[in-house]
């Protein structure tokens, strides 16, 4: 018996020694790899030799153009998002170059000029739903002020908009106030922050134990299928304009299981990206307007001057809201909803004279480019008038303002988003004054998008007179 015990202890001791040796060798290897890597010669913040990765952050118009346009064939999308959010699948957000060309051609007609013109009425209808919700809250406030969780309410607003415009589906989340899909998307977004991605890098099996995200994705998958089935079972009209889901169903009609899975991924992607980025942009814009009451007043005066008290906003009127448009651009500059876009080098490349080895992760800095003092005067200050000249552009230098990215993989819904944001803002400014919540401080937290943390709260009051 003692002999068997001695053998068992020896085996465990050998295994433990082997494990310790492996860890030490791995640490030495990672340290040497980090020290002698060509990436260590690139200027920037010091890296982490043990838990860090082969990642380079690039910024500035020429470097961004290099990665996203002129040498884009040398870079592919990384699989980081798919690892934590498998429901994105092979959709437009994550697919390869060849698939992207095919998918882009398939869905781009849904965002045509003629389609967008008809969507303004939907933008305004949902915005009026939000106005009614906030007005009801104000009616029970004796002070005439009401604390609202603007981030959550705007998230519901943009979810309803993308549901109606892209899928012909009414989530009714503004009025319900407690939408299951909105909650699920928030849970999914929260697991894409740096700490979770780092844990997954160190322990690849970590993602299988993060049950909150798994449960959230189960909910979203069920709702996505419900949206698809409702559209499939609805009466087809030959006269109405085709929305995004109409075109997807047309393309994948009777298709293979693989294509059906791709369609599900497309719906998930457009639901997530189509409402999240817009709600974040709206939240940061209202945040800046609450901090800058003189700019808010000027914007409201323009809205009334252009729109009067007319309840209907037409597409042509949106272009006349020049100052409001500059406010939106300045908010997108100072608070880019997407902090960076990430690529992986599939062959060796040279950027700005530095070797980028094959396999290197390259983070293309949208937000960092937006605050480079070389191109922006007082970059940390909210100054909408900086967009007043050069036809609404910050300067004659290309690729320094890119909230929707640049190149063939730039955001397909950028015109949709800008029209949506302007319509919602104009509607809200006609009805409310926005004020900071005393004692609350909001910091950006980088996830799939850059949300205010904690969730943005504002004080609202009704317009006088």
Binding residues for heme: 411
Record the tokens describing residue 364, joined without a space: 């293309």
**How far is Cα 31 from Cα 100, in angstroms, rounded to an integer?**
38
Instruction: Kindly write down the DSSP assignment for every residue of 173-212, as one continuous string.
Output: HHHHS--HHHHHHHHHHHTTSHHHHHHHHH-GGGGGG-HH
Sign of the four-CA dihedral 448, 193, 51, 202 = negative
Q: List Cβ neighbours of 355 (8 Å cut-off, separation of 6 or more).
A: 38, 348, 349
**How far is Cα 139 from Cα 300, in angstroms, rounded to an integer?**
22
Closest-CA residue to 77 (of 424, 361, 420): 361
**How far is Cα 209 from Cα 215, in angstroms, rounded to an integer?**
11
Record the tokens describing residue 340, joined without a space: 């960076």
Tokens 């049950």: give the residue: 211
Alpha carbon 330 to chain centroid, angstroms: 17
User: What is the edge-to-edge ordering of all strands in the sheet holding 458-462?
Assistant: 146-148, 458-462, 432-435
Record the tokens describing residue 381, joined without a space: 């200050």
Tokens 């609450």: give the residue: 290
Strand, coil or helix: what is 445? strand
**How far is Cα 304 from Cα 309, in angstroms, rounded to an integer?**
7
**How far is Cα 289 from Cα 424, in angstroms, rounded to an integer?**
14
Alpha carbon 223 to chain centroid, angstroms: 20
Closest-CA residue to 406 (of 29, 67, 20): 67
Which residues belong to the annotated binding site?
411
Strand partners, 460: 146, 434
Record the tokens describing residue 213, joined without a space: 């995200």
Q: What are phi and psi of 433, to 5 degrees?
A: -105, 135
Tokens 């082997």: give the residue: 18
Record the tokens describing residue 430, joined without a space: 């006609």
Closest-CA residue to 273 (of 188, 362, 344): 188
Q: Is the peptide bond before 93 cis (omega within 30 degrees of 0)?
A: no
């Amino acid at each position: 018996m003692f002999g068997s015990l001695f053998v068992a202890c020896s085996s465990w001791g050998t295994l433990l020694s082997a494990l310790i040796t492996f860890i030490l060798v791995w640490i030495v290897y990672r340290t040497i790899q980090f020290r002698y890597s060509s990436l260590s010669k690139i200027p920037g913040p010091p890296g982490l030799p043990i838990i860090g990765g082969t990642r380079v952050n690039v910024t500035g118009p020429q470097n961004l153009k290099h990665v996203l346009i002129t040498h884009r064939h040398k870079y592919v999308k990384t699989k980081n998002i798919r690892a934590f959010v498998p429901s994105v699948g092979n959709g437009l957000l994550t697919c390869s170059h060849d698939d992207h060309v095919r998918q882009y051609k398939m869905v781009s007609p849904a965002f045509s000029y003629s389609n967008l013109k008809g969507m303004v009425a939907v933008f305004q209808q949902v915005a009026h739903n939000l106005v009614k919700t906030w007005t009801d809250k104000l009616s029970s406030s004796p002070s005439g002020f009401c604390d609202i969780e603007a981030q959550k309410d705007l998230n519901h607003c943009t979810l309803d908009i993308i549901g109606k415009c892209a899928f012909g589906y009414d989530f009714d989340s503004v009025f319900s106030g407690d939408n299951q899909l909105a909650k699920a998307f928030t849970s999914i977004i929260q697991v894409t922050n740096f700490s979770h991605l780092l844990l997954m890098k160190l322990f690849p099996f970590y993602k299988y134990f993060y049950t909150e995200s798994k449960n959230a994705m189960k909910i979203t998958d069920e709702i996505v299928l419900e949206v698809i089935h409702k559209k499939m079972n609805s009466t087809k009209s030959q006269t109405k304009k085709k929305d995004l889901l109409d075109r997807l169903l047309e393309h994948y009609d009777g298709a293979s299981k693989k294509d059906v899975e791709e369609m599900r991924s497309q719906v998930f992607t457009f639901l997530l990206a189509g409402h999240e980025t817009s709600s974040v942009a709206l939240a940061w814009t209202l945040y800046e307007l609450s901090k800058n009451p003189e700019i808010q007043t000027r914007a409201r005066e323009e809205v009334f001057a252009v729109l009067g008290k007319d309840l209907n906003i037409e597409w042509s009127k949106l272009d006349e809201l020049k100052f409001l448009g500059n406010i939106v651009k300045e908010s997108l500059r100072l608070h880019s909803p997407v902090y960076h876009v990430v690529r992986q080098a599939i062959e060796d490349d040279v950027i700005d004279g530095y070797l980028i080895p094959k396999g290197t992760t390259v983070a293309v800095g949208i937000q960092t480019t937006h605050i480079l003092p070389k191109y922006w005067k007082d970059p940390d200050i909210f100054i909408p008038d900086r967009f007043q000249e050069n036809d609404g552009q910050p300067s004659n230098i290309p690729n320094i303002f890119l909230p929707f990215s640049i190149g063939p993989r730039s955001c397909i819904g950028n015109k949709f988003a800008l029209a949506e944001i302007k319509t919602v803002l104009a509607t809200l400014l006609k009805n409310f004054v926005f004020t900071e919540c005393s004692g609350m401080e909001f910091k950006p937290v980088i996830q799939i998008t850059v949300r205010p943390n904690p969730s943005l709260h504002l004080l609202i009051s009704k317009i006088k007179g």
